[in-house]
Amino acid sequence: MLICKAIIIFIAYMITFFAYGLIFRKVTGSGQNNSGVLIPAGMFLYSLLFFVLILAPKYHRVPLHVLSLVWAVIWGGSVLLILILLRRTAGEVLASLGKFLKENLLNSLLFLAFNVLQAGFVELFGRWSSSNNPSNYVAYVTTAVFTDELGTTHPVKGVLLRRFSSKMFTETYMDHSAVVAKIFRVHPLIEIRWVMPVLFLITGNLIVFMAAREIFRERSKQWLFFAGYQAAVACTTGSYLYSSFYMYFRNYEGKTVIPAVLLPAVFYVFWRMYQDPWDKEALLFGLLCVTGSFHFTGTTMYMIPVACLGLIPAMFGKKRAGRVFGNMVLLVLPCFLYAAAYLLIKAGIINLVIR
C-alpha cells in the first residue's frame, strides 16, 4: 500500500513537471531537440512558484491543514488549466517523444533500465548518513505534519522556537513535503525519502543526456558520455569530500539538487551559450534552474558562482567571449540577491520572530 502511494505521488510530480515544462516551452519556443529539458524546467518552475507563495503564510503561521487544502486546489487547478490551454503544445511534445523513442529505441531502453537500477539502489542501499542531518531534513517535515505548523517547533527537542531558523525558513522544499504528506495522507518519510530522491536522479539524468546530445551527434558517443559521467559519479560517492555523495547517501536533503541536477544544468547551459552566445532559451533555462533551486537549498548562492568561475577558462580565445561572460553574470545574479537577503535575515534586519 505504501509503495502504491509513493508511485501515485511520483506520477503526480511527473505530470506536474510536464505541465509546467509546457509553459517554459511555450514562452521560449524551444524546439523538438530540446524536449529533454521539459521535465527539469517544469520542476524548477513549479518549485519557484511554491517558494514564492509559501513564505508569507509560513511567517504568519497559517495551519498546515489549511495550507494543504489551498495548495491542493492551486496545484491541481493549475496543472489542469495548463494542460487544457496548452493541449496543442502537449500533443506536439508527446508526438516528438514518440518519434524519438521509435528512432532511439535501444538507447531509450538503456536509459530507462539505468534509471530503474539507480533508483533501486537508492531505495535499497541509499539514504544513509552518519551525520546529524537526518534530524534537520527529515524530522523537520515529520514535526511540521504532527504539529500542524511549519518551522515553529525544534525538530529534535520538540520545544517551540522564538524565531524561525534563518537557514530553513527559505528552504521550502521541506514545507512542500509536509504539504504533500497532508494532501496524500502518507507519512512524511514516504515523500521525502522515497519519492524525492528518485525525482532528483531522473531529472538530473535527463539533463546529462541532453548535454551528451549537444556535445556529440553520434548516438553511440552520446551514450558513452552518459555512462562515463555516471561511472565517475559512482566512483566518488564513498567520500564526504565529493558532492556526488549526496546523490546516493544523502539524497533526502535539498542540497542533493546541486550535484544531481543543478551543476549538470549549468554545464549544459554553458555549453549551449558557448556554441551560441545569443541562445536566449539556454539562458532562460539556466536562470530558471538557479532561481528555482533556492526552494531546495540556499547553498546555491555560493556553489553556482564557484561553478561559473571554473568554466571561465574555457572562454579564452573564444569569439564573443564577452557575451558568454555577460550571460554567466546574469546566471549568478540571483545568487547574490539571495545572499543579500540571507545576510539581512542573519543580521535581524529581516525579522523572523515567531508571533
User: Does residue 3 belong to any structural domain of this protein?
Assistant: no
71-78 own/partner pairs: CB under 8 Å, 24+ apart: 71/179, 71/183, 72/183, 75/16, 75/183, 78/19
Q: Give the H/E segment covering residue 335.
A: helix 321-346
Q: Is the pLDDT of residue 24 over 90?
A: yes
On the CB side of 309, CA atoms within 13 Å amount to 5
Cell numbers given for 323 = 557575451
215 by Cβ neighbours in 10 Å (0-12 / 13-18 / 19+) ranks as: middle
- Which residues, in sequence order, are bridge partners of residue 353? 163
Over residues 140-151, the mean pLDDT reads 91
Determine, yes or no, domain membership for 2. no
Task: Write out pLDDT tens, residues 222-262.
Answer: 778 887 888 788 777 777 667 777 888 878 888 889 989 99
Show Cβ contacts of residue 265 under 8 Å, excluding neighbours closer than 6 positions.
40, 207, 285, 286, 289
Tell me whether residue 354 is in a domain: no
Residue 41 — pLDDT band, cuts 50, 70, 90? very high
Residue 350, all three cell numbers: 529581516
Instruction: Extract the runs of DSSP E, i.e. beta strands, from the chain.
Output: none
pLDDT (mean) for 114-131: 77
Look-up: residue for cell 509560513? 58
Q: Does the structure show a pLDDT above 70 at 103?
A: yes
pLDDT at 20: 96
The pLDDT value given to residue 254: 86
Sorted by sequence, the CB contacts under 8 Å of residue 120 that are 6+ apart come out as none
Using CA atoms, how far residue 35 sits from 29, 31, 42, 291, 331, in Å, is 11, 7, 11, 21, 22
- Decide: residue 70, CB within 10 A, 0-12 exposed, 13-18 middle, 19+ buried: middle
Total count of domains within the chain? 1
* Residue 320 within a domain: yes
**Residue 225 placed within a domain:** yes
Domain-located, residue 355? no
Residue 118 belongs to what domain range?
Answer: 9-346
CA dist 23 and 355 (Å) reads 38
Residue 331 contacts residue 304 (beta carbons within 8 Å): yes
Model confidence pLDDT, tens digit, residues 72-91: 999 999 999 999 999 999 99
Give the count of beta carbons closer than 10 Å to the beta carbon of residue 107.
18
Does residue 353 lie in a domain region?
Answer: no
| Three cell numbers, residue 25 | 516551452
Distance (Å, whole) CA 64 – CA 60:
11
Residue 120 within a domain? yes
Helix axes 196-215, 2-28, angle to 10 degrees: 40
The confidence band for 132, taking pLDDT boundaries of 50, 70 and 90, is: low
How far is Cα 312 from Cα 309, in angstroms, rounded to an integer? 5
Region at 61 (left for phi over 0; alpha for psi -120 to 50; beta for the rest): left
What pLDDT shows up at residue 79?
Answer: 97
Question: Mean pLDDT score of the chain, rounded to an integer?
Answer: 87
